[in-house]
Structure 1
């Protein structure tokens, strides 16, 4: 995949050294993106479209281990640990979202679809969806109706070794189930952001409850599960 940036920025970052600076092109790319987003926001302001435009800045996964450092979060892109699934979410919507406000409620990318429909004044179809509109959080008018967020990663990553598994986040608790041996990992995210202290054995009731919910969600969504390869035919 490309690591590209304008030549002046590549030269600017070429000599940068220090912890976490594994590839200086990454720094150049980030500044290039920052400048481009700035031009976009300025254009919305100049065209008097800012108040009528919801802008969301986010990412589809955590940092890439080859060029970035996600610490204190554990691991990186391709993992169910926070380094793989926790990403920035920055919103600009003048007159609707108060500048400088924050929310600690976890959301997920599937929430954007129902959010955009609500902003556009459109109704959801009859088919079930995974997400929930986050307008109540953005406008500070209420809470989300759900109590859990689920993750499912049944594929091996191309760029590193990872374990196939699923995860569920409920309040401050996060459970990971590894599909290869059905082992469970339970973390208290309010005290253990780096996911170092597995509490599954110490808090079995919570682990069992969350694991049961994950099992139900996988069946309800007909999630494709990893299967061992078929044995090679005998010659």
Structure 2
């Protein structure tokens, strides 16, 4: 690996997880502990990349929002199993609650859904649209403000500066190179309606021009 710093960070994480699993085993908790490993969104471009995904941290393209999720739970999650159903971080909390046998507190908004049916390869998980909202600039000030929705294999991005949209088939174009908005106008319109309805229901803050 040419990036020695990146290699060192991988080694450090590997060592840390080795220590964690070693301690769980020493305490007799190895088979009774759910471990979920994920990451912050997007790499810092110029330091690391995530090809074939497009762009990185701060962007609405897959390189800026797609992250890994690895789960270890002996006896409940089959080792080596792979799930390609898209989920989102709001699903983690209800997953942990169900794993502990707990219910949401009264009045808590059901922002996510438990992933246990997926983890245990059972029926019951209903795939849903995933929404993203970037109303402000990232630290590098190079991103465009916008929102996105993924529903099934299609993902739509709406740019707030000019109202334009981009539509991608992530099943066949993970690098988001072919904008299908003009070719599939009905699909684009349907997803745009869902995205705008979600923003309205969420009372999402929208960017506005700076006052002079």
Alignment RMSD (CA, Å): 1.2
Q: TM-score scaled to structure 1, two decimals?
A: 0.86
**Larger relative contact order (C-alpha < 8 A, sep ≥ 6)?**
2
Q: Which runs of 5+ in 2 are unaligned?
A: none
Equivalent residue for 2:203, pick from 214, 218, 222: 222
1:62-141 matches, cutoff 5 A: 62-125=42-105, 126-141=107-122
Equivalent residue for 1:40, pick from 5, 20, 26: 20
Equivalent residue for 2:29, pick from 49, 60, 67: 49
Contact 1:111 1:132 in 2 (8 A): yes
Q: TM-score scaled to structure 2, two decimals?
A: 0.95
Contact 1:60 1:109 in 2 (8 A): no
2: CA distance, partners of 1:27 / 1:161: 27
Shift of 1:52: 1.5
1: CA distance, partners of 2:36 / 2:108: 25
Is 1:27 matched with 2:10?
Answer: no
Shift of 1:29: 1.3
Hey, which bits of structure 1, 4+ residues long, moved more than 4 A? none
Please name the residue that 2:163 is paired with.
182
Shift of 1:206: 0.4
2: CA distance, partners of 1:228 / 1:107: 33
**Bigger Rg over Cα:** 1
1: CA distance, partners of 2:136 / 2:7: 29
Aligned length: 211
Q: Which runs of 5+ in 1 are unaligned?
A: 1-15
1:65-114, Cα deviation, whole Å (9 max, x unpaired) = 13101111000011111101111110000011111101010011111011
Instruction: Report SS of the residue matched to 1:110.
Output: helix
1:4-24, Cα deviation, whole Å (9 max, x unpaired) = xxxxxxxxxxxx53xxx3xx3
